[in-house]
Amino acid sequence: MLSGSLRRLVAALAVALAVLATRAVAAVVDRSFHRDFNAVWGKRNARFLEHGRVVELSLDERTGSRLESKDRYLFGRFDLDIRLVAGESAGTITSFYICTGGARHDEVDFEFLGNVSGEPYLLHTNIFSDGKGEREQQFVLWFDPTADFHTYSILWNPLNIILYIDGTPIRVFRNNEANGVPFPTRQPVHVFASIWNAEEWATQGGRVKTNWSEAPFVATYRRFGASSACVWRGNGATTRCGGDHLPSSASSWMGQTLDWWSWMTLNWVRMNYMAYDYCEDRKRYPHAFPTECIIPIGRI
């Protein structure tokens, strides 16, 4: 006979597996870019494939392309698989971001800065709160992002924003409102995916321009996941959240922060793959770093 605690463990695993199964179905079968997104710019350059389960966004001399989520969300975990433009990609930016719009907008960015053939991409991240950005962190990647799909995730809850690559945390921005740093908690976001020409600054500081004879530049997206997110219905009272039904509250994304192991992993990424951190740019901040940089990030 199973002991009580073992039975509880088995029950919890069964629930977790059921949740995972539902998610997998939602992500792989049910999810469609047709259902979740509109092409709001460069419609012609957004190609929906496999019944909308895959989308290719392309950049040519005429235009890039951008998808915008039909829903707006107030908090959530957003996952997206992306395969970046292979070969020549200098001057291009492929992106995945959440943004509120408006004058005092909030925004969280994954921007992949292309490069000349054979040279590495740079992942540029930024976080805007209450209209203020200038919180750039850049990373080189530990894999070839053009060879296959990788999962890029934005977790946004009232405690912090965490960026992940294939489940590995690479950046955290904690809610420091108590210390006077604005944190997005009030305005709903749209989710965006896009590709555009940014030859003025993207590649090697703007020295390398887009080579249009290599166009079109094509990035491929699949498996958008927002099942752990709160859909905004126009007023706060009718926000509906998903994915928050795991057995223990500790596993809820709404309360998720970095545990000890995640901090270790994040520090490993910072030590080995970080190319730029505004919090360490003494030229830019000769006298004092922004408040959120000074608060020790290693505290759990």
Ligand X SMILES: *[C@@H]1O[C@H](CO)[C@@H](O)[C@H](O)[C@H]1NC(C)=O
Enzyme catalytic residues: 107, 111
The DSSP bridge partners found for residue 66 are: 41, 194
**Rounded to the nearest whole angstrom, what is the least distance from the CB of residue 269 to ligand X in the complex?**
17
* Residue placing its CB nearer to ligand X in the complex, 115 or 153: 115
* Residue placing its CB nearer to ligand X in the complex, 120 or 236: 120
**Rounded to the nearest whole angstrom, what is the least distance from the CB of residue 208 to ligand X in the complex?**
7
Residue 284 vs residues 203, 288, 291: alpha-carbon distances, Å = 21, 9, 14
Between CA 230 and CA 210 the distance in angstroms is 38
Question: Both tokens of residue 289?
Answer: 């770093």
Question: Both tokens of residue 167?
Answer: 């489940």
**Rounded to the nearest whole angstrom, what is the least distance from the CB of residue 231 to ligand X in the complex?**
35
Q: What are phi and psi of 272, to 5 degrees?
A: -100, -25
**Rounded to the nearest whole angstrom, what is the least distance from the CB of residue 212 to ligand X in the complex?**
8
Binding site for ligand X (CB under 6 A): 113, 115, 119-120, 122, 202-204, 211, 213-214
* Residue placing its CB nearer to ligand X in the complex, 115 or 125: 115
Q: What are the residues whose beta carbons fall under 8 Å from the beta carbon of 288, sequence distance 6 or more?
A: 294
* Residue placing its CB nearer to ligand X in the complex, 130 or 214: 214
Cα angle 294, 259, 3; round to 5: 165
